[in-house]
Structure 1
Amino acid sequence: MVDARLLDAVGALIKAHARPGHVPLIGIAGAQGSGKTTLARAAAERFGAAHLSLDDVYRTKAEREAKGKAIHPLFAVRGPPGTHDLVLLETTVAALSAAGPDSRTPMPSFDKLADDRRPEAQWPVFTGRPSAVLTDGWCLGAMAQAEAELAEPINALERERDGHGVWRRAVNAELAGSYAALFVGFDAVLFLKAPSFDAVLDWRCEQEAELLGLHPGELRPERRAELAVFIQAFERITRHMLAGGVRADVAIALDKDRHPFFS
């Protein structure tokens, strides 16, 4: 069940940026498992909006593997800036913004279990003209870090697999370049702020269990350990965002159970 106050917050942003001939582009950001996708889907249904997710515009597995060979092996792992097809996202947003009452707009779709983009013939279709485009993504609005902040690794992943900082500097350059240019095009961003990075592993495990049709307690300990390693790829930017390194029009703090705090 999505908190009604969160839905109202999204609705207020849509209303604030609606004008004749313009389809508002609203971002919903938050750490893995924060509920951003669930909120975006519920808000899209309530307000007649289209829903896109950064998770559905990952580069194909072959593209990520090629980037991993060309720049750094960690680019083969989906998630961080540099692993998304931003052109696909932008062209889809443009198609939705130009849609008419009878338009049918293909919506990109990614299969996380297969770790690859689904064939276009399997993509869902949005029919008509949306009231807004709601895009969720864990790093939406994230700001690049200063060079000095990149000098030291912050976890085992960076120490063991990126000792020279090639990957984290490349990710930061993506964030400062094409991602920053993308974020400028959003009318507004709502940020669901986790209580700390420590909550993210529990949330990510809950996501994984749901994906597999399991109760969170049924997830194998070995898989939890694997996910603990996986989220290290997100740790640097997530901590930076929680410390204020994010451009957001509205920030809503969450507790460990994802309940929002409203002042």
Structure 2
Amino acid sequence: MSDAVADLIAAEGLPADYAEVVERHWKPLADRIATRAAGHTPLIVGINGAQGSGKTTLCRFLELLLGRRGLRAVTLSIDDIYLTRTERMALARQVHPLFATRGVPGTHSPALGMEVIEAIRAGRAVTLPRFDKAMDDRAPESVPVPGPVDVLLFEGWCLGAIPQDEAALAEPVNALEAEEDVDGTWRDTVNRLLGEDYARLFAQVDLLLMLKVGSFAEVRRNRRLQEEKLRARNPGAPGPMSPAEVDRFLSHFERLTLHMLDAMPARADLVIPIGPDQRPL
């Protein structure tokens, strides 16, 4: 194991034996991406995965491993192209109150994502937007990246998702939909947007990878664990959510997550099953 990999494992707060994951899974994946990128740069790699599947960690290792192969890789998260808080509040007033919570299609700016990808495809310098989750708003600072870029790692929980059949929208999947989206306006709008601006954005992806968790119950457990770790690190901080708050928050994502777990494995170029320990199987 190289010092750079060991340093990144330490920086990510991962156990030392995570080096085996890098060796067995992420190095071969980097090789595959590098082979695909040969003669086809810039390459847009889409990385789909439910919350807690390890997308951010994977991208950090891929940036390092691709760099060793002479490829310049940068990461854009779909979280970084969220609408501003002001824009989301306007959407909540005009369309449906559930759009006040960031996450689902409709709360991003696909146009901003297209701008980034178009600049990278043209080999120009690009400024990557960033979203500040603590402020619940787009960060005033962005990240300048001089061109050209060889590989864009575009990650997001709903990256590459396609709309559901309209008939599937009729029945609510949880209490949030049953009680707060009684007429189905929210889920209908999310579904429609997936087939419009989001479809054009996701069509830019050259290679689609899915980190596939076993069930939505694992998503819920992973997110609760994440909040417990935040609370342990910052006992007096007001930020971490209670289990009940986590469950309500995740209810916004449940429908589309279940749909992707069912439909995306047949559509993705590569599917990597993720175990309950958040490591690839």
Structure 2 residue 109 is matched with structure 1 residue 85: yes
Q: Which residue number corresponds to residue 87 of structure 2?
A: 63
CA distance in 1, matches of 2:174, 2:190: 16
**TM-score, structure 1 normalization:** 0.88
Structure 2 residue 248 is matched with structure 1 residue 229: yes
Classify 1:98/1:220 alpha carbon distance in 2 versus 1 (closer, same or farther; 3 Å).
Answer: closer
1:48-197 aligned within 5 A: 48-99=72-123, 103=125, 105-119=126-140, 122-197=141-216
CA distance in 1, matches of 2:123, 2:90: 34
Report deviation, 1:26: 0.3
Give the secondary-structure state (helix, strand or coil) at the position aligned to 2:56: helix
Classify 1:221/1:16 alpha carbon distance in 2 versus 1 (closer, same or farther; 3 Å).
Answer: closer
CA distance in 2, matches of 1:222, 1:117: 21
Residue type at the aligned position of 1:108: P
Q: Which residue number corresponds to residue 217 of structure 2?
A: 198
CA distance in 1, matches of 2:192, 2:37: 30
Classify 1:209/1:25 alpha carbon distance in 2 versus 1 (closer, same or farther; 3 Å).
Answer: farther
Residue type at the aligned position of 2:122: A
Give the secondary-structure state (helix, strand or coil) at the position aligned to 1:259: coil
Identity %: 42
Report deviation, 1:203: 1.7
Report deviation, 1:74: 0.8
Report deviation, 1:244: 2.2
Report deviation, 1:19: 1.7
Gaps of 5+ in 2: 1-8, 10-17, 67-71
Report deviation, 1:205: 2.9
Report deviation, 1:128: 3.8
Q: Which residue number corresponds to residue 244 of structure 1?
A: 263
1:123-171 CA-to-partner distances (Å, cap 9, x unmatched) read: 1222342221001000111121101100000101101100111100110
Give the secondary-structure state (helix, strand or coil) at the position aligned to 2:164: coil
Q: Which residue number corresponds to residue 259 of structure 1?
A: 279
Report deviation, 1:210: 5.6
RMSD: 2.4
Residue type at the aligned position of 1:179: Y
CA distance in 1, matches of 2:134, 2:232: 13
1:80-131 CA-to-partner distances (Å, cap 9, x unmatched) read: 011111111111122223236xx4x321000001100011xx2122234222
1:195-224 CA-to-partner distances (Å, cap 9, x unmatched) read: 1100112222344456667289x9999622
Classify 1:220/1:110 alpha carbon distance in 2 versus 1 (closer, same or farther; 3 Å).
Answer: closer
CA distance in 2, matches of 1:117, 1:184: 24
CA distance in 2, matches of 1:245, 1:162: 25
Contact in 1 for aligned 2:161/2:194 (Cα 8 Å): yes
Structure 2 residue 60 is matched with structure 1 residue 41: yes
**TM-score, structure 2 normalization:** 0.83
Residue type at the aligned position of 1:112: K
Gaps of 5+ in 1: none
CA distance in 1, matches of 2:167, 2:107: 24
